[in-house]
Structure 1
Amino acid sequence: MDYNIKFIKEFIQLTINGYEQNWHERNGGNLSYRLKDEEVEAIQKYCDFSGEFKPIGTSVPKLAGEYFLVTGSGKFFRNVSLDPENNICIIQLDEKGENYRILWGLKNGGRPTSELPTHLMNHEIKKVTTNNKHRVIYHCHPANIIALTFTMPLDNKIITRELWEMATECPVVFPSGVGIVEWMVPGGRDIAVATSKLMDKYDVVIWAHHGIFCSGEDFDTTFGLAHTVEKSAEILVKVISMGENKLQTITPQNFRDLAVDFKVTLPEEFLFEK
Structure 2
Amino acid sequence: MNVLEQEFIKGFVRMCSDGFAQGWHERNGGNLTYRMKDEDIESVKNAFSYQRDWYPIQTEVPYLKGEYFLVTGSGKYFRNVELDEEANIGIVEIDETGTKYRIVWGLKNGAVPTSELPSHLMNHEIKKLVTHGEHRVIYHCHATNVIALTFVLPLKDEIFTRELWEMATECPVVFPRGVGVVPWMVPGGKEIAVATSQLMKKYDVAIWAHHGIFCSGADFDLTFGLAHTVEKSAEILVKMLSMSSTKLQTITSDNFRDLAKAFQVTLPEEFL
TM-score normalized with structure 1 length: 0.98
Give the Cα–Cα distance (whole angstroms) in 2 for the partners of residues 146 and 107 of structure 1: 33
SS at match of 1:59: coil
Alignment-derived partner of residue 58 in structure 1: 59
| 1:143 equivalent in alignment to 2:144 | yes
Encode CA deviations 1:212-263: one digit per residue, 9 max, x unaligned.
1110000000000000000000000011111222110000000000000000
Give the Cα–Cα distance (whole angstroms) in 2 for the partners of residues 236 and 60 of structure 1: 38
| 1:237 equivalent in alignment to 2:238 | yes
SS at match of 2:32: strand
Encode CA deviations 1:119-164: one digit per residue, 9 max, x unaligned.
0001000000001000000000011000000011001101100000
Give the Cα–Cα distance (whole angstroms) in 1 for the partners of residues 7 and 58 of structure 2: 30
- The 5 Å alignment of 1:204-243 reads 204-243=205-244
SS at match of 2:159: helix
Alignment-derived partner of residue 29 in structure 1: 30
Q: Which runs of 4+ in 1 moved over 6 A?
A: none
| 1:252 equivalent in alignment to 2:266 | no
Give the Cα–Cα distance (whole angstroms) in 2 for the partners of residues 97 and 6 of structure 1: 27
Give the Cα–Cα distance (whole angstroms) in 1 for the partners of residues 177 and 39 of structure 2: 31
SS at match of 1:160: helix
Give the Cα–Cα distance (whole angstroms) in 2 for the partners of residues 173 and 61 of structure 1: 31
CA drift of 1:188 comes to 1.0
Higher deviation after alignment, 90-99 or 237-246: 237-246
TM-score normalized with structure 2 length: 0.99
Alignment-derived partner of residue 88 in structure 1: 89
Give the superposed CA RMSD.
0.6
Long gaps (5+) in structure 1: none
CA drift of 1:34 comes to 0.1
SS at match of 2:4: coil
Alignment-derived partner of residue 177 in structure 2: 176
Give the Cα–Cα distance (whole angstroms) in 1 for the partners of residues 54 and 234 of structure 2: 41
Alignment-derived partner of residue 132 in structure 1: 133
Long gaps (5+) in structure 2: none
Encode CA deviations 1:185-211: one digit per residue, 9 max, x unaligned.
010111100001100000000000000
| 1:111 equivalent in alignment to 2:112 | yes
Alignment-derived partner of residue 120 in structure 1: 121
Give the Cα–Cα distance (whole angstroms) in 1 for the partners of residues 39 and 107 of structure 2: 23
CA drift of 1:109 comes to 1.2
Q: Percent identity?
A: 68
- The 5 Å alignment of 1:158-197 reads 158-197=159-198
Alignment-derived partner of residue 199 in structure 1: 200
